[in-house]
Amino acid sequence: MPTTILHKESLIPGRTSKLVLDAPQIAATAKPGHFVMLRVNEQGERFPLTIADTDPEKGTITIVYLVMGKSTMLLEALSEGDSILDVAGPLGKATHIVKGDSVICVGGGTGIAAMHHIAKGHHKAGNYVIAIIGARSKDLLLFENELKSFCDEVLISTDDGSYGHKGFVTDLLKDRLEKDKKVQEVVAVGPVPMMQAVAGTTLPFGVATTVSLNSLMVDGIGMCGACRVTVDGETKFTCVDGPEFDGHKVDFAELRQRLSAFRSQEKQSIEHHEHRCSCHDKH
């Protein structure tokens, strides 16, 4: 059964959008940390997106994507009322949430959306939640208002200094960890270099650090191992063992390398798509 898009909102025009999907079965069981596998149309590929929010009563889930390849271009071409052919989930292990002291949730880029759901889970469990979000510039920041609506603190950085602290999220994180000894855990979701930098920042403080990995996936249900990563010297499947792992034990260099496996085919796919679009002369 195709899944209907109930609501679409452009967060960064042409670049990042938010979709609210009519998916009661997934909304009923999804928890923070879970993801879905999607396929836009009959010729489409399967790809994973983290669930950014759920509303079990309304039977909806929210997804947020960055337009970066053919599949997300297809998604971006859809409007409210259109459907996505296949949406399967919830998948992966849910975030491990325990009641304790304060938790710092760090988000970068589109990862802020996924981090938002995890932060919400910690807030509901009664934890003191500090959100640290960062982007290259002010207009690329996501979910600031949503985070401010429930987080105890929201700290912001931009690379160009157009808003908040000028610099990286890791500057804010390090500063905080130096002053605050009651942080039980740091959670980071974002681009691989950012998650790696967060893990590097927290290591000297000995603070538990969880990262949500964005490996390439095919089935998302453990059948193929496309998403395998090395954690503490062992091979793990991101889709069933993760996507969250101990940031101090992940082989980030290997993950970055593996993410580039299909780069030339990804380019070819976009070119093929754009060529077809221009043939139809819609521009």
Number of residues that bind other proteins (CB under 8 A): 44
Determine if residue 239 is labeled as part of a ligand binding site. yes
Of 2 and 161, nearer to other proteins (C-beta) is 2
* Closer residue to other proteins (CB): 234 or 281: 234
Exposed, middle or buried by CB within 10 Å (0-12, 13-18, 19+), for 265?
exposed
Q: Does residue 78 belong to the site contacting other proteins (CB under 8 A)?
A: no
Stretch that binds other proteins, among 79-87, 118-126, 129-137, 161-169 (CB under 8 A): 79-87
Nearest to 159 by CA among 151, 167, 149: 167
Tell me if 278 contacts other proteins by CB under 8 A.
no
Does the footprint of other proteins cover residue 90 (CB under 8 A)? yes
| Pairwise CA distance, residues 78 & 211, whole Å | 31
Long-range contacts of 161-169 (CB under 8 A, 24+ apart): 162/137, 162/138, 163/137, 163/138, 168/134, 168/194, 168/197, 169/106, 169/107, 169/108, 169/132, 169/133, 169/134, 169/194, 169/198
- Report, in Å, the least distance between residue 32 CB and other proteins: 15
29 binds other proteins (CB under 8 A): yes
Taking the chain, what is the end-to-end CA distance rounded to the nearest angstrom?
A: 32
Query: Of 69, 171, 163, 51, nearest to 116 (Cα)?
Result: 51
Q: Which two tokens stand for residue 240?
A: 């069933």
35 in Cβ contact with 49 (< 8 Å): yes
Q: Which is nearer to other proteins, 83 or 184 (CB)?
A: 83
The answer to whether the beta carbons of residues 101 and 170 sit under 8 Å apart is no
- 203-262 binders of other proteins (CB under 8 A): 218-219, 221-226, 228-230, 235, 237, 240, 254, 257-258, 260-262
The annotation status of 105 as a binding-site residue, yes or no, is no
Q: Which of 67, 218 has the CB closer to other proteins? A: 218
- Interface residue with other proteins among 32, 33, 48, 89 (CB under 8 A) is 89
Looking at the Cβ atoms of 91 and 118, the one nearer to other proteins is 91
Sign of CA dihedral 232, 237, 240, 242: positive
- Residue 85 binds other proteins (CB under 8 A): yes
279 belongs to an annotated ligand binding site: no
Which residues 172-201 are close enough to bind other proteins by CB under 8 A? none
Q: Is 117 in the site for other proteins (CB under 8 A)?
A: no
The closest of 71, 70, 64, 84 to 5, measured between CA atoms, is 84
77 binds other proteins (CB under 8 A): no
Angstrom distance (rounded) from CA 106 to CA 101 = 16
Annotated binding site for [2Fe-2S] cluster: 224, 227, 239
- State the residues that interact with other proteins by CB under 8 A: 1, 25-26, 29, 39, 43-46, 70-71, 85-91, 218-219, 221-226, 228-230, 235, 237, 240, 254, 257-258, 260-262, 265-266, 268-269, 272-273
